[in-house]
Amino acid sequence: MTNSKTVWHKSWNLPGQRDATEQACQELLEAARRHGYDENEVFGVHLALEEAFMNAVQHGNRGDSNKRILAESLITPEKIDISITDEGSGFNPEGLPDPRHGDNLYKCSGRGVLLIRAYMDVVEYNERGNCVHMIKFRDKEGRIRKALNSE
Amino acid sequence: MDQMSPNLQIDYHGNVAVATLTDEKILEDEQIQALEGSFMPLIEQSENIQLIIDFSNVKFLTSSVLGLLIRISKKVYEKNGKLRLCAIEPKIMDVFRITRLDKIFEIFPDQDDALVGLKR
């Protein structure tokens, strides 16, 4: 996963408990801040991480704290790259109902994957559906604004 | 200040209950459960409750909080009450917009605006 531009890299093998994933989350966010990612970017990565870890603990591992969660992240000057894998049987992300439509709007759950997709630039799942790979590019919106203004 | 639970401060403006979320980050199951444990009896106790939830301290939340808000709103409407949200900072407001929950909640810039039109 690393390459020559990698400024930070870490792998975790975590028990399926929220306090363990929270610690990993904070380590990654601190590293992102240290390497110059701004608060908007950190907010988006934080939200995506919380939702992905929550899905892994609650839905993937079904709350079984004996099951593990593997996480890996690298930071380069251009991007934050994260993979999170649980021990569950996986799910089909394309089969999820859209929480923004109809009666789904009034449901108490089902918004995590929507938020992950909204805040990360790349979101992909493995075939089994128990591993999510996410990328946040640095200042993508800023670069787009600059590109629009220079036209 | 009229009532305080670990995650919530409740002030009464006449017949309107203003519940200010005191945590800066709301993401842990325990926090959600504590909030639910504070909100639900408050709503149960009063017919036609008028409830404002103030988000001015909140800098981060997850989809679990959105789920809690839906449960609170259903309970408020069961009791023929009114629910308003206020003082949501721009980054959190984006989360409401992305999920389109800004379409189903009444959201106001601050407490004073949220109080307008409620029976004091």
pLDDT in tens, B77-111: 999 999 999 999 999 999 999 999 999 999 999 99
CATH number of A8-149: 3.30.565.10
Does residue B101 sit within a domain? yes
Does residue B24 sit within a domain? yes
Write the residue in B62, B68, B99 that is nearest to A114 by C-beta. B99
For the segment A105-127, the average pLDDT, to the nearest whole number, is 96
What Cα–Cα distance (Å) separates residue A70 from each residue in A29, B19, B119? Answer: 17, 39, 53
Q: How many structural domains does chain B have?
A: 1
The answer to whether the beta carbons of residues A81 and A73 sit under 8 Å apart is yes
Write the residue in A46, A108, A114 that is nearest to B98 by C-beta. A114
The answer to whether the beta carbons of residues B115 and B16 sit under 8 Å apart is yes
Does residue B73 sit within a domain? yes
How far does B1 lie from chain A, in Å, by closest CA? 30
pLDDT at B1: 47
* Helical H segments across chain A, by residue range: 18-34, 39-54, 112-119, 140-149
Does residue B120 sit within a domain? no
pLDDT in tens, B23-65: 999 988 889 999 999 999 999 998 899 999 999 999 999 999 9
Does residue B51 sit within a domain? yes
pLDDT in tens, A53-77: 999 999 999 999 999 999 999 999 9
CATH number, domain at B73? 3.30.750.24
Q: Cα separation of B14 and B16, whole Å? A: 6
Interface test with A, best of B24, B25, B26, B27 (most A CBs within 10 A): B27
